[in-house]
Amino acid sequence: MGLKRRTGTKNPSILSSEFFIQNHADIISCIAMIFVVGLLFQVTAPLASIFVVMHHNVTEGLDPNDIVLYTYGRQDACVITFYFLIAIVMHAILQEYALDKLNRKLHLSKVKHSKFNESGQLLIFYLISLIWGGDIILREGYLLNISQLWQDYPHNEMTFMFKFYFIVQLAYWLHCYPELYFQKVKKDEMKPRIIYTTLYLVFLTAAYVLNFTRIAICLSVLHYVVESIFHTSRLLYFAERSRAASYGFTVWNVLFVLVRLGSISLSVLTFWYGLAKQQVTPAMDIVTGNFNTQLIRINCLVAVFLLQAWMMWNFINFHMKRLRERAAQAASSKKKALAKKEKKQKKDELKKVSEDEVNELPEVDQNTKKDLRSRTGVSTKSKRN
């Protein structure tokens, strides 16, 4: 593939850290190709299919018109591993052929360069997930019949695209950890990235394992709408499209609060009212996939509440920080303007005092003084010329 990070003119030594960073996409794409090529041979096909093909098919009957349904299981870890490798390769392709070229045109600073790459990568993923998840919601009919989010629980059977959506989600957020090393992210930027990556993984994995995938896909699509607008606005800001970025951030400010309220409302409706009317079990039933216990539902609801509250807290702190920065900037500008005005006033006062002193002299001395000033001015001009 030839995807190499152009970080220097000298070629690093083989098996060194720098060599692996520059050539990680080629190395990982070769590993992924081993699984794909393995499907072509009868001997290796059973082993390779564990990593490539979707497993845990629970569809009964041989009718080709039947919808193929899947549940989750241990072999999903192998499939996630394969698409984890694919995510790293796709990340490198997008970085090399799109984001790096844009960075060179925009001439961004190192700080903006890192944030631009982060927003560019996340925006593409959010848009794909938004379109994909929205299509699943429309196909399954959740938008017109919201009661399907809790009816007929446990929801341990999924269509191919439904299950594939969660497999890709988990694989993508897992690949964000090694990307911190591949992209040479600074230590001060690592913490927030690790935090939001871990939160995505924890909530998506919990929803997938506990069979709360229907409510999870709706909440994720709502969240991805807001995040897409934010990262689009940030990219426009870095591209110096200030007016468009300002409109985008304004829309983001409004939708962020609305989506937080909508996520809480949808969670209360599902976990507190909807699932309480379904098949409630006193203890977890792993065999049937029924995790509809009061303890689990309350914990899930509290977890969603805390997540939304944490996001709102960060949102408020972000805007308060911006207000303080603007107030400090305005005060600094006002102070500079006042100092400049005072300096001008002192200069005018000194000039006025000098003129008053000349006026107090006798008429002959005044003319001599003015003549000396005019000559001094002329000589000064001639020297400058």
Residue 290 β-bridge partners: 285
Asked if the model's pLDDT at residue 365 lies above 60, the reply is no
Q: Which of 6, 234, 224, 198 is nearest to 120 (CA)?
A: 234
Distance between CA atoms of 16 and 29, rounded to whole angstroms? Answer: 19
Name the residue among 159, 162, 174, 160 with its Cα closest to residue 205: 174
- The answer to whether residue 364 scores a pLDDT higher than 70 is no
Q: If pLDDT is split at 50, 70 and 90, which confidence band does 381 have?
A: very low
> What pLDDT, on the 0 to 100 scale, is given for residue 10?
67
**Rounded Cα gap, residues 286 and 271, in angstroms:** 19
Q: How far apart are CA 328 and CA 331, in angstroms?
A: 5
Is pLDDT of 7 > 50? no
Look at residue 310 and tell me whether its pLDDT is greater than 60.
yes
For 51-60, 88-97, 339-348, 353-362, which range has the lowest pLDDT when averaged over its residues? 353-362
Q: What residue spans define the domains of the chain?
A: 54-292, 332-384
Evaluate if residue 327 carries a pLDDT over 50: yes
pLDDT, residue 300, reads: 95
Query: Residue 213 CB: number of other CB atoms within 10 A?
Result: 22
Residue 173 near residue 207, CB atoms below 8 Å: no
Token couple for 6: 């152009």
Longest alpha-carbon distance in the chain: 123
Give yes or no for residue 26 having a pLDDT over 90: yes
Q: Up-side HSE of residue 307: CA atoms within 13 Å toward CB?
A: 21
**pLDDT at res. 110:** 81
Rounded to an integer, the average pLDDT of 363-384 is 52
Range with top average pLDDT, 66-80, 144-158, 220-234: 220-234
Q: What is the pLDDT of residues 328-345, one digit of tens each?
A: 887 777 777 777 777 777
What pLDDT, on a 0 to 100 scale, did the predictor assign at position 326?
83
> In angstroms, what is the C-alpha Rg of the chain?
32
Q: How many C-beta atoms surround the C-beta of residue 104 within 10 A?
A: 9
Read off the pTM: 0.84
Can you list the positions of beta strands (E) in the chain?
69-70, 158-159
pLDDT at position 62 is 56
Check residue 293 and report its DSSP letter.
-
Kindly report the number of other CB atoms within 10 A of residue 89's CB atom: 22
217 CB contacts (<8 Å, ≥6 apart)? 133, 136, 137, 142, 162, 165, 166
**Residue 221: enclosing H or E segment and its boundaries?**
helix 213-238
- Decide: 189 and 114 in contact? Cβ < 8 Å: yes
Count of C-beta atoms within a 10 Å radius of residue 189: 15
Between 346 and 82, whose confidence is greater?
A: 82
Q: Which is it for strands 69-70 and 158-159: parallel, antiparallel or unpaired?
A: antiparallel
Token pair for 364: 């002959």
pLDDT at 5 over 60: no
Place of tokens 């299919």: 49
Measured CA to CA, the distance from residue 304 to residue 310 in angstroms comes to 10
Answer for the pair 100, 113: CB distance below 8 angstroms, yes or no: no
Task: Determine contact, residues 118/187, Cβ cutoff 8 Å.
Answer: no
Comparing 218-232, 282-296, 336-350, 367-381, which segment has the lowest mean pLDDT?
367-381
Q: What is the per-residue pLDDT for 258?
A: 97
Task: List CB contacts of 39: < 8 A, sequence separation 6 or more.
Answer: 45, 48, 49, 52
Query: Is the pLDDT assigned to residue 42 strictly greater than 70?
Result: yes
Helix (H, G, I), strand (E, B) or coil at 69: strand
363 vs 176, more confident? 176
pLDDT, residue 342, reads: 73
Q: Residues 122-145: pLDDT tens digits?
A: 999 999 999 999 999 999 999 889
Mean pLDDT taken over the chain: 86
Can you give the pLDDT at residue 61? 57
252-303: pLDDT as tens digits:
999 999 999 999 999 999 999 999 888 778 888 888 889 999 999 999 999 9
Distance CA 33, CA 69 (A): 28
Q: How far apart are CA 253 and CA 306, in angstroms?
A: 20
Amino acid 109: pLDDT: 83
For residue 239, what are its two tokens? 């591209």
Rounded Cα–Cα distance for residues 97 and 23 (Å): 15
**What is the reported pLDDT for 6?**
47
Q: Which residue has the tokens 């709706």?
A: 218
